[in-house]
Amino acid sequence: MQLTIGSNRLNSTDGIISVRGRQQIVLEWGPLNSELMLTMDLYGAGGGHIARLRRNQWTFNDHGRFDFAPNARGFNLVDTKSSRVILEARVVGRDSVVITQGAFYSSAGHQIEILTEDWNGVTDSRTATQPAARSTNLPFAADEITAIRDAVVSSRATVECPRCGCPLTRERIPGSAQLDSVMVSCIMCNRNLVVRSQS
């Protein structure tokens, strides 16, 4: 399956997305590859397990908190309490799925957001092109992006990856006089962030 998550494209994935080392989302094709099926564990801000969807059917759904609406071209998962989109996906081609937006919590209570555009001047991108690449790295969470951006902007000598703890490499990108851009990379996670700050 080719899976696009926000601005990140992953090729040859098995549809499994792990968040902070724990499997949280599974996308798969239904019988005869005709329907996109979602399995997802949903958590609250405190990390409590509040719902589980298994292959488009609720295993449990605390007080009907979430509404799942599958259709021929994908699905929408919405929090009925806040009307916020938890996860939205579209089938865009044979064996190709795009997660267009999302906002949910991990089992540790960390908020994860899936965006298609820059977040406060930071672009998060990853392309996995190896055969059988696993989609274990969602885009960095908002708190991780903020930590990296703050470290880079403050010119700290060493900036560590919030995922694996490895030192991040930095490479200055030529830009305009008003904008200073730095490419920050993690070799272990195969991830890149472009951090822009006013010079």
Tens of pLDDT, residue by residue over 83-124, are: 888 999 988 888 889 898 888 998 888 888 887 654 433 344
Give the gyration radius of the chain's Cα atoms.
18
Site of tokens 């989302």: 25
**For residues 43-57, b (16+ Cβ closer than 10 Å) or e, as one string?**
beeeeeebbebeeee
Higher-confidence residue: 159 or 74?
Answer: 74
Please give the DSSP secondary-structure letter assigned to residue 178: T
Least confident of 57-61, 63-67, 123-127: 123-127
All residues at 6 or more sequence positions from 76 whose CB lies less than 8 Å from its CB, including other chains: 68, 69, 85, 87, 88
pLDDT tens string 125-154: 433 322 333 334 455 667 777 777 777 777
Q: Can you say whether the dihedral through the CA atoms of 123, 91, 40, 27 is positive or negative?
A: negative
> Domain 142-198 falls in which CATH fold?
N-terminal domain of TfIIb (2.20.25)
Backbone angles phi, psi at 66, to 5 degrees: -120, 150
Q: Is the pTM of this model over 0.75?
A: no
All residues at 6 or more sequence positions from 95 whose CB lies less than 8 Å from its CB, including other chains: 1, 2, 29, 33
Quick one: pLDDT band at residue 157, thresholds 50, 70, 90?
Answer: low
Contact 44, 50 (CB under 8 A): yes
Site of tokens 């060493």: 158
3-state secondary structure of 151: helix
At residue 174, the pLDDT reads 54
What is the location of CATH 2.20.25 in the chain? Answer: 142-198
Quick one: pLDDT band at residue 78, thresholds 50, 70, 90?
Answer: very high
